[in-house]
Structure 1
Amino acid sequence: MGQTKVSLLIHINVLSIQKSSKSKNDMLKGDIKSTLINMAIPMIFGMIMLMTFGIVDTFFVSLIGTNELAAISFTFPITFLIISFNIGLGIGTSAVIGKYLGSGDDSNAKVLATGSLMLVFILVGMLSIAGYFTIDFTFTLLGASATLLPLIYDYMSIWYIAGVLLAIPMVGNAVLRASGDTKTPSIIMAAGGGINVVLTPVLIFGYLGFPALGIKGAAIATCIAWTVCVVWIIYFLAVKRELMEPRLLSWSEFVPASKGVLTIGLPAAGSNMLTPISAAIVTSIVAGYGAHAVAAWGVGNRIESLASIVVLALSMSLPPLISQNFGANQFSRIHTAYRMCIKFILVWQFLMFVILVILAPYIASVFAAEESVAQQITLFLLIVPIGYGFQGIIILTNSAFNAMHKPLAAMYLSLIRLFICYVPITALGSYLYGLQGLFWACVVANALAAGVSYYWFNREIGLQKQADKENYTRVNDVKRL
């Protein structure tokens, strides 16, 4: 019996290794289009469920009242700030582990995975504590009125705990994606979104014998959902797939592992966090048009997240392929994959724009009880989605730069997009033409930044290919001598 168990465990481990090796082989030698499709499809379904919790929160909170909807809309830039920090550290983790796997160094990848999870827990914990003690100051600065501050406190005082819980599955999923597994992360994300969808109305309105908690219930539902995901991802990484050490690292192990992640992760996190910072600035501009405008802006941004699911799925599927081929010096495959994704995303996001134009009045009626809010939601959906394809180019280029271990290029690109294009142009549009001018300015800003992004990456990959060619020539010349 004991021998049977040992044989079974060996068989499971062999299958796991074979699966990992196959994923690595697909990314380095397999058909690029098929590999991207196989990686992206599970991510799309997972992202749909993950994004659902934001839409569900917004919908059920909108049923409470306009003030509650405005309050949760004010929280978007701050919650996105924490999430963006998590994403940045996940990018650093995925890029470094992907390069290790591409070059065949699996043992370092395992230690780094453990260190990255420890690191994100510590850093996001510190960020959330700071956020908790500055709730009133932060949201007053964003333009929230005294009426809205108690509602914002009810939500954010709990959500900051969820931010820490969210960090671990996000970085853990980055480890899995770096190894070529996008199916498991999608299942974990889907589970988190599904739990949240079920619990949110129960806790907001007090169904099934639970007390009615209002806006606070939405945050508690998110906490519970991510707690389940934390347990799941740690078990999967440490026990089932053995992609991390099943223990805490010593200080001598933790420091170099952290440095490897932070080299790319900090610039990536900083780059990602620029988006919610700029969003907070624009939200403060929108606040000048009143609570109805903020409510509409918040709904529009939630719909934007849902409409960008395929872009986000590709932005998480493309980097592992790029990182592993970067480790193997296969720059032509990187260039082919990038251009393929850009062409697809332009077509796909145009279709999203057409769909949103058709559905705009119906979406507005679902999320808004008041006519003025519905009109502004409709206006948002008729204009802003025109720029979603351009936005997709920026997101994919940013991910590609990070995957090629060029986090500073990604960060500079974000600075150009947000603080040279997005914020100044939207402020100018608002000043000249009001809220409608602000919406059109979003499109113009994304178009300008997309042009810079596309040119910059193609120039960079061309230089890399040329350098690799020259290095290959030098090596051959030395061999001939």
Structure 2
Amino acid sequence: MTWPMLIAMSMLMSFNFVDAYFVSLLGTEKLAAFSFTFPVTFTVISLVIGLGVGTSATVANTLGRGDGRRARHQGGVAVVLSGVLVLLLCLIVWLLHDPIFLLIGASDETLPVIAEFMTIWLAGGIFVAFPMVGNAVMRANGNTRLPSVVMALSAAVNVALDPLLIFGIGPFPEMGLRGAALATVIGYGVSSGFILYMLFVRMKAIAWGASWACRIKSARTILSIALPASGSNMLTPVAMAGMTAIIARYGEEAVAAFGVGGRLESLVTLVILTLSMTLPPFISQNYAAGRHDRVRAAYEGTIKFVLLFQGGVYLVLLMLSSQIGATFGKDAAVAEIIALLVVILPLAYGAQGVVILSNSSLNALHRPMGALGLNMVRLFVMYLPLAFIGGKIGGLTGVFAGAALANAITACIAWRVVNGQLCPVTSMNVEEANEPTV
């Protein structure tokens, strides 16, 4: 289930990196403004990811119990619900634009530059909802190939339009940051149209013919998982905003470098993010079907793999740290900070993967409050306090070291929490699980 999604996620996450590269060519001021947008846009995306988690866990659980008709109605409710909630959140961000960005450390001079990007992005924010929630419905049905096509399509459109709209190549106007935002919106818009057509018309995987009582019940079931999951995911950009405020004390160059680091993290933790999408429906269906042995094997196997894989990724990044800094930091100070970040933070990406996959597993087991609590501990008991203390001790190096240490400590806690939720696999229930099923 993971391989097709991994290929598509590579393309999808790469366009964030491509955005950062093209914007960096506009200068440090534009790159810093672009970096301030990341916690806010990721807040909207986190809401959608949470809705996708709730949708995937609910639909997969229903399918695991053999009720395909109800699963289709749940998928239809999820698509409409996600569109409404994203519209509301984008409206709130638009109304509170200046106070939000001032709170996370932007200056009065930077606000108009940030608005160049955010005004267009928020206007098209609803198109973020449909591909992600639609993909969750498909993954719950065991189909990861079509979602991979949808995400690859969105990424390809974005990457193709980025240089044309940012720099005004050919007949296109030179739009700068507005061009980067418009390219992203168009990419999501194209994939939205494609996935809604496939879900409604071709696959008939979602329906809207149930009674209102059934729709309300489905919405409540989805939201019972989606709201805590969204809250858990939205804590990440809130913490990132706090981290941005901490780093802003070290200058505009540090903020610009941290913005590049955030997009680098999305790219090099791609396997983790992909597994966090494919693991939950696998766990939900098998847990509903009583296959607890497969649930435990899947969780433990993915954790071991991620720790080994991210260890290898760190070694590659360590060797390329100077080159990465020089590529994305046209200013020498920015390049130096990027290289420093690459040496320290990725050391704990494997541990961060343990936390992310543990959260996904708890949501799949219908324990969303456990996932929410775990994320709160990671971000607000460990991540921000240790980064702040590290900064007091060792400056910017201490900030990065404190953040890495926080991930390592939380990973140990997450492992124990999830293992406490899993049923012990005995010889008796393994034999029962291996019996033929109807």
TM above 0.5: yes
- Aligned residue identity for 2:198: F
Counterpart among 85, 103, 108 of residue 123 in structure 1: 85
In structure 1, distance between residues paired with 2:239 and 2:185: 26
Question: What SS class does the counterpart of residue 145 from structure 1 fall into?
Answer: coil
Displacement, 1:283? Answer: 0.5
Counterpart of 1:178 (choices 130, 137, 140) is 140
1:100/1:108 contact within 8 Å kept: yes
> Which of 191, 198, 201 matches 2:153?
191
Cα deviations by residue, 1:399-426 (Å, 9 ceiling, x for unpaired): 0000111101111110111111111111
Tell me by how many angstroms 1:252 deviates: 3.2
Equivalent pair of 2:73/2:209 in contact (CA under 8 Å): no
Residues matched between the structures, number: 429
- Letter aligned with residue 336 of structure 1: A
AA of the residue aligned to 1:54: N
Aligned 1:2-401 pairs, distance under 5 A: 39-245=1-207, 247=208, 251-401=212-362
Structure 2 CA distance for aligned equivalents of residues 221 and 81 of structure 1: 19
Letter in 2 for 1:349: Q
Which amino acid letter does the alignment assign opposite residue 249 of structure 2? Answer: G
Post-superposition shift, 1:330?
A: 1.2
Amino acid at match of 2:122: Y
Question: Unpaired runs of 5+ in structure 2?
Answer: 433-438
Quote how far apart the aligned CAs of 1:250 are: 5.7
**CA distance, structure 2, for counterparts of residue 43 and residue 81 of structure 1:** 22
Deviates more, 1:299-308 or 1:153-162: 153-162
Aligned counterpart for 2:404 among listed residues 443, 460, 472? 443
CA contact (8 A) 2:17 2:264 kept: yes
Counterpart of 1:447, as a letter, is A
Aligned letter for 1:90? G
Query: Which residues of structure 1 form unaligned runs of 5+?
Result: 1-38, 473-481
CA distance in 1, matches of 2:317, 2:198: 38
After TM superposition, give the deviation of residue 249 of structure 1 in Å. 6.2
* In structure 2, distance between residues paired with 1:102 and 1:250: 23
Contact 1:90 1:170 in 2 (8 A): yes
Task: Report if the CA contact (8 A) 1:81-1:273 is conserved.
Answer: yes
Q: Deviation of residue 251 (structure 1)?
A: 3.6
Relative distance call for 1:452 and 1:234 in structure 2 (3 A) is: same
**Cα distance in 2 between the residues matched to 1:283 and 1:67:** 15
For residues 253 and 222 of structure 1, the distance between their equivalents in structure 2, rounded to whole angstroms, comes to: 35
Q: CA deviation at 1:56?
A: 1.0
Structure 2 match to 1:419: 380
Q: Secondary structure at the match of 1:208?
A: coil
TM-score between the two structures when normalised by the length of structure 2: 0.96
**Secondary structure of the structure 1 residue equivalent to 2:382:** helix
Alpha-carbon contact 1:114-1:248 (below 8 Å) kept? no
SS of aligned partner of 1:209: coil
Deviation string, structure 1 residues 195-249 (Cα, Å, up to 9, x no partner): 000001100000121110000100001111111111111111111111011x576
Structure 1 segments (4+ residues) deviating >3 Å:
247-253
Inter-partner Cα distance in structure 2 for 1:254 and 1:202:
44
SS at match of 2:124: helix
Work out the CA distance in 2 between the residues paired with 1:119 and 1:161. 18
**Cα distance in 2, alignment partners of residues 266 and 161 from structure 1:** 23
How many percent of aligned residue pairs carry the same amino acid?
44
- CA positional deviation for 1:66: 0.2
TM-score (norm 1): 0.87
1:373–1:405 Cα change, 3 Å: same
Contact 1:413 1:453 in 2 (8 A): yes
Please give the root-mean-square deviation of Cα atoms over the aligned residues, in Å: 1.3
- Structure whose CA Rg is larger: 1
SS in structure 1 at match of 2:422: helix
Is 1:162–1:219's contact at 8 Å kept on the other side of the alignment?
A: no
Which secondary structure does the structure 1 equivalent of 2:223 belong to?
Answer: helix
Can you list the C-alpha shifts for 1:344-398, whole angstroms capped at 9, x where unaligned?
0001000110111111111111111111000000000011100010001001000
